[in-house]
Chain A
Amino acid sequence: MQTFPFSARDLDRFREVQQLAYRCAEQVAAWIEPGVTERQATAKLRRCLVAEGVQDFFHIPFAWFGDRTAFRHFHTPLQFFAGGRVLREGMPYVLDCAPVVDGYTADIGYGGKVGANPIWDRLALDLQIYRELILREVRARKPLNEVYAAVDAQIAAHGYDNRHQVYPGRVIGHQVTRTVSRGPAGVNVLGFGVRTLQTLGRELISERLHGRSPLWADGRSSAHAPTPGLWAVEPHIGFREVGIKFEELLVVTEDDAYWLDDDLPHVRRWTLEAAA
């Protein structure tokens, strides 16, 4: 079995990058207001990240507004890219970015809303159940496709729909490693950094040889116990025109698992709501 590849220091660096990413997302969330377009939001997010010292992106920043948060009417992958959709009062939005600093990668998702949206409130509250469920199942070292099925069953019980299945490969998560490649930083192909694609390509091949996949989906390729390492996990649920997700790093060791960081906006929000 593969051993856990990161030192405590590595984990600290990963945690810092993830904090940085969420900090930038919160900055954009504080700035965002009705009238802003998706493109303006991603540009702002990118500026924030670069100002914080980000050198490359695992994938370019994304922003989805309104029913695009639930990926409604998505037919081609090109529709993931930020477009001209204008934010209106009451709309939900999702920001997704993946900065790389010194090869340490974070990949985060941040859901928000402007004005009142009771459906979003309900989804945001229920999202907590998925964070706990995934951790519980991974700790039990269930095969990843079974964890995926458990998440699906929970989504069905809630009466929502699974929106991560719209991502390429239907993935609920993917492995994150320290990128060490030499390709040009800051250059992307179809939204993914060149270095990402190099690393991912290498991972896909080497993991395949071990009967595993760096991508976490519901198919047979994920029918293996959680690989030790770091996983960016992104359950994305939707109800009607509203979608919400979180995305954060899950640390999987040889015999345990835990979320890399619990001091994140959505976790703080749940703590506040539980206290209220």
Chain B
Amino acid sequence: MTTDATDATGSTDAHATRRRTVHSAGVALAVFEQGDPQAPTLLLVHGYPDTHRVWDDVAADLAADHHVVRYDVRGAGESGVPARREEYRLELLAADLLAVADTVSPDRPVHVVAHDWGSLQSWEAVTEPGAERRIASYTTMSGPCLDHMGFWIRHRLRRPTPRHLRQLLVQGAHSWYITAFHLPFLAPATWRFGLARAWPRVLNDLEAVTPRPDHPQLTLRQDAIRGIELYRANMRPRLRHPRERPTEIPVQLVTLTRDRYVSGFLSEGLERWVPRLTRRELNATHWSALLEKGAVVAGMVREFTGRIESGESGESGEAGEEGEEGEHLRNGGSLVVVTGGGSGIGRATALAFAEQGSRVVVCDLDLAAAQRTAELASLLGPVATAYQVDVSDGPAVDAFALTVAAAHGVPDVLVNNAGIGHSGTFLQTTEKEWQRVLDVNLWGVIHGCRAFGTLMAERGEGGHIVNLASAAAYLPSKMLAAYATSKAAVLMLSDCLRAELAPTGIGVSAICPGIVNTNITRTSTFSGLSAAEQAAKQARASKLYARRGFPPEKVAAEIVRAVRTRKPVVPVTFEAKAARLIGRISPGLLRLAARLDLG
């Protein structure tokens, strides 16, 4: 590997681009640098059929405070063209990346940011044993590691559950072009006779990318045709014979929620290979992430690398670096707000998210209980915080949302869990009782969705709202008039809100737990009973719920999964699922059962 002298095309201005050439494995790579070379180095790797120009917006933003380096990968743009297909193998592409890194930042490891095929190549470099000496962090978009992908497919073929089969089919349908790229003549011909010319329109129509004068690059046609070799040289061998490729390098995975080519579930179980994984989401298509939302992507990269850099600079010794960095990284998980987090499902949910590395904020009417949850969550994950909030108080929830945004940022996940139980027929239930149940169970959810949903929508990075409904939302009972009404409203609210927030990339899930062993029964109220009778009823209900023995931790696990899979409605226990099914097969049966004098 050798380098040619720097050939500056501008003054010392931070945004001027300096070009140089790096020779790696027989190919001359065109390298473009911006920003202060003393600042942390970011290495941006483009995908197919792009060149380094696809990063223009991201690079311009990051060059203000970083040393930003881009290069055209072999066969693309201004870089040299390998003669044979074997020279497009991932080993060589990874070697290119490390060669560029060695040249532009010989003394400090670089932060790699990659998209599409650039991401596949970077995975190869990142999972290379010893790569942590050259690579400080890795932000990946829309490009899995082919080895991980190979194991992902194997695992699903070996355990062909309906969900796994669906995932295989969906991803298979999205990967049709990969098969097409393996066909001789057809793919190059398509690019040659029309697709290259039509590319701006394709991006505009399918990818929501507004045409701009300098894009796509003039070399698109030849880049696209040569780049087909990337697929042909690598896809089959790697997917057929995947290698175990773990990495200790901190990785930030940015899932693009409207990506047509790479499904979000491809990263399921990625923690197996990448213990230090941070998951982020961006509401964008495969290309609009870079070409329309460059500033947002730049912000994510800046935040992630900044955290890792500060972790390193805070350390004097070499040995302690790893651990410290890890701590900082874990703090960087998503931010989760849980209402009613002082006990039961709320507490279990807060802990489950903390265990995943999320920063958790819990609120509860009972501050001591919320603090206890925060303390436990801090034992399992990053430091958690507790607040005292009455969710039925709209202004208080608004203030809480602003406090959270100021102190911790806009949450990625909101769990509207706070709720109370109440039993009584319609005629027994007093107006006051009605108000209390609706204030907490329904208005609490409304206030939470409005206060935090506004912040999430304004931020534009997507997110997820989880509302705790109940099996009672669709399982009528004369004994639960107020409670079931409030929960049915939450279910419908969730359905409406989901439709409204879909364009902003914010998902909404309604959880219908069923009979879960929590303290809701110990605090439930009963209409038309004396205090003593009420206590006896509470004890009886608690006993019944304890005997059912369904732990809140299982509901929490379902909530975490619902956030990951964006499942709209989640009945949790057997009875919740059965009631939903019966309600569809024979609603009359449920109406009849509603007359039973339970409790």
- Which residues of A pack against B, CB within 8 Å? 118-119, 122, 156-159, 239-240
Nearest 6 CB-CB pairings of A with B: A159-B376, A119-B379, A118-B379, A159-B347, A122-B379, A159-B372
Please tell me if B254 contacts chain A, counting CB pairs below 8 Å. no
Question: Which chain A residue has the least Cβ–Cβ distance from B518?
Answer: A156
Contact B372 A157 (CB under 8 A): yes
Residues of B within 8 A of A157 (CB): 369, 372
Question: Which chain A residue has the least Cβ–Cβ distance from B380?
Answer: A240
Interface centre among B372, B375, B379, B380 (most CB of A within 10 A): B379
Interface centre among B343, B347, B355, B376 (most CB of A within 10 A): B376
Residues of B within 8 A of A119 (CB): 379-380
Interface centre among A119, A122, A159 (most CB of B within 10 A): A159
Provide the bound-state CA to CA distance between A119 and B379, in Å: 6
Provide the bound-state CA to CA distance between A239 and B377, in Å: 11
Question: Which chain B residue has the least Cβ–Cβ distance from A118?
Answer: B379
1/0 per residue B343-361: CB within 8 Å of A?
Answer: 1000100010001000000
* B519 smallest CB distance to A (angstroms): 7
Contact B343 A156 (CB under 8 A): yes
Contact pick for B351, options A118, A122, A158, A159, CB 8 Å: A159
Q: What number of B residues sit within 8 Å (CB to CB) of A?
A: 12
* B516 smallest CB distance to A (angstroms): 13
Residues of A within 8 A of B380 (CB): 119, 240
Question: Which chain A residue has the least Cβ–Cβ distance from B372?
Answer: A159
User: Known contacts A156-B343, A156-B519, A159-B351: does B376 contact A239 (CB below 8 Å)?
Assistant: yes
Provide the bound-state CA to CA distance between A157 and B368, in Å: 10
* Pairs A–B under 8 Å by Cβ, sample size 6: A119-B380, A122-B376, A122-B379, A159-B373, A159-B376, A240-B355
Contact B372 A158 (CB under 8 A): yes
* A162 smallest CB distance to B (angstroms): 11
1/0 per residue B506-527: CB within 8 Å of A?
Answer: 0000000000000100000000
* A244 smallest CB distance to B (angstroms): 14
Question: Which chain B residue has the least Cβ–Cβ distance from A152?
Answer: B546
Question: Which chain B residue has the least Cβ–Cβ distance from A218?
Answer: B546
Provide the bound-state CA to CA distance between A62 and B375, in Å: 32
Question: Which chain B residue has the least Cβ–Cβ distance from A239?
Answer: B376
Residues of A within 8 A of B347 (CB): 159
Provide the bound-state CA to CA distance between A118 and B379, in Å: 7
1/0 per residue B368-394: CB within 8 Å of A?
Answer: 010011011001100000000000000
Provide the bound-state CA to CA distance between A36 and B360, in Å: 37
Residues of A within 8 A of B355 (CB): 240
Question: Which chain A residue has the least Cβ–Cβ distance from B377?
Answer: A159
Question: Which chain B residue has the least Cβ–Cβ distance from A242?
Answer: B379
Interface centre among A118, A156, A239 (most CB of B within 10 A): A156
Provide the bound-state CA to CA distance between A156 and B372, in Å: 11
Question: Which chain B residue has the least Cβ–Cβ distance from A120?
Answer: B379
Residues of B within 8 A of A159 (CB): 347, 351, 372-373, 376
* B549 smallest CB distance to A (angstroms): 11
Residues of A within 8 A of B379 (CB): 118-119, 122, 239
Residues of B within 8 A of A239 (CB): 376, 379
Question: Which chain A residue has the least Cβ–Cβ distance from B376?
Answer: A159
Residues of A within 8 A of B375 (CB): 122
Residues of A within 8 A of B372 (CB): 157-159
Interface centre among A118, A119, A158, A240 (most CB of B within 10 A): A240
Provide the bound-state CA to CA distance between A267 and B379, in Å: 24
Residues of B within 8 A of A240 (CB): 355, 380
* B546 smallest CB distance to A (angstroms): 9
Question: Which chain A residue has the least Cβ–Cβ distance from B344?
Answer: A156
Residues of A within 8 A of B519 (CB): 156
Residues of A within 8 A of B376 (CB): 122, 159, 239
* B166 smallest CB distance to A (angstroms): 30
Provide the bound-state CA to CA distance between A240 and B380, in Å: 9
* B548 smallest CB distance to A (angstroms): 15
* B286 smallest CB distance to A (angstroms): 39
Residues of A within 8 A of B351 (CB): 159
Provide the bound-state CA to CA distance between A239 and B372, in Å: 13
Taking A122-B379, A158-B372, A159-B372 as known contacts, 10 extra A-B pairs with beta carbons closer than 8 A to each other, sorted by chain A number, are: A119-B379, A122-B375, A122-B376, A156-B343, A156-B519, A157-B372, A159-B373, A159-B376, A239-B379, A240-B380
Residues of B within 8 A of A158 (CB): 372
Residues of B within 8 A of A156 (CB): 343, 519
Residues of A within 8 A of B343 (CB): 156
Provide the bound-state CA to CA distance between A119 and B375, in Å: 10
* A155 smallest CB distance to B (angstroms): 12
* B280 smallest CB distance to A (angstroms): 26
Question: Which chain A residue has the least Cβ–Cβ distance from B553?
Answer: A161
* B557 smallest CB distance to A (angstroms): 13
Question: Which chain A residue has the least Cβ–Cβ distance from B517?
Answer: A156
1/0 per residue B541-582: CB within 8 Å of A?
Answer: 000000000000000000000000000000000000000000
Question: Which chain A residue has the least Cβ–Cβ distance from B375?
Answer: A122
Question: Which chain A residue has the least Cβ–Cβ distance from B343?
Answer: A156
* A115 smallest CB distance to B (angstroms): 14
Provide the bound-state CA to CA distance between A159 and B373, in Å: 7
Question: Which chain A residue has the least Cβ–Cβ distance from B350?
Answer: A159
Provide the bound-state CA to CA distance between A159 and B376, in Å: 8
Question: Which chain B residue has the least Cβ–Cβ distance from A160?
Answer: B376
Provide the bound-state CA to CA distance between A133 and B379, in Å: 24
Provide the bound-state CA to CA distance between A118 and B327, in Å: 14
Question: Which chain A residue has the least Cβ–Cβ distance from B351?
Answer: A159
* A193 smallest CB distance to B (angstroms): 33
* A157 smallest CB distance to B (angstroms): 7
Question: Which chain B residue has the least Cβ–Cβ distance from A121?
Answer: B379
* A129 smallest CB distance to B (angstroms): 12
Provide the bound-state CA to CA distance between A157 and B370, in Å: 10
Provide the bound-state CA to CA distance between A119 and B376, in Å: 8
Provide the bound-state CA to CA distance between A158 and B372, in Å: 7
Task: List B residues 17-72 near A (Cβ within 8 Å).
Answer: none
* A39 smallest CB distance to B (angstroms): 31
Provide the bound-state CA to CA distance between A229 and B340, in Å: 44
* A82 smallest CB distance to B (angstroms): 28
* A238 smallest CB distance to B (angstroms): 12
Residues of B within 8 A of A118 (CB): 379
* B312 smallest CB distance to A (angstroms): 23
